[in-house]
């Protein structure tokens, strides 16, 4: 079991996808995302396995939640700087976790 102090170490913020690109070099089908977290954090890159149910075009402009304080992860020649959050549906496809209303970029989950 973890404590509230442990949970507080995980920095989950809301951002807006500003660009989604195909990522053919990834071992599992994925997109390269550029996500804007606002003035305090700025834009960060993420690799996300969202190709089964999302088209690139519908990701752009969408709010997402991501962990912004994990160390960067090298995926081929791409550096993923944040972990975009999602949960699997009944078929195992990733469904994004996001606010259901417009909120300020960079807002922290608590």
pLDDT computed for residue 76 by the predictor: 86
DSSP 44: E
pLDDT digit string (tens) for 67-98? Answer: 999 999 999 899 999 999 999 999 999 999 99
CB 15 within 8 A of CB 66: yes
pLDDT computed for residue 110 by the predictor: 86
Residues of the chain with pLDDT under 70: none
CB 82 within 8 A of CB 63: no
* 29 vs 55: CA distance, rounded Å: 12
Domains of the chain: 8-96 (2.40.50.140)
With a CB cutoff of 8 Å and minimum separation 6, the contacts of 27 are: none
């Amino acid at each position: 079991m973890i404590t509230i102090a442990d949970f507080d170490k995980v920095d989950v913020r809301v951002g807006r996808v500003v660009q989604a690109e195909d990522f053919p070099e990834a071992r599992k089908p994925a997109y390269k995302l550029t996500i804007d977290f606002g003035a305090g954090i700025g834009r960060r890159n993420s690799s996300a396995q969202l190709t089964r149910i999302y088209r690139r075009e519908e990701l752009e402009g969408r709010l997402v939640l991501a962990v912004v304080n994990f160390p960067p992860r090298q995926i081929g020649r791409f550096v993923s700087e944040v972990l975009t959050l999602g949960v699997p549906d009944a078929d195992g496809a990733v469904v994004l976790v996001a606010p259901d209303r417009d909120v300020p970029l960079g807002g922290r989950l608590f």
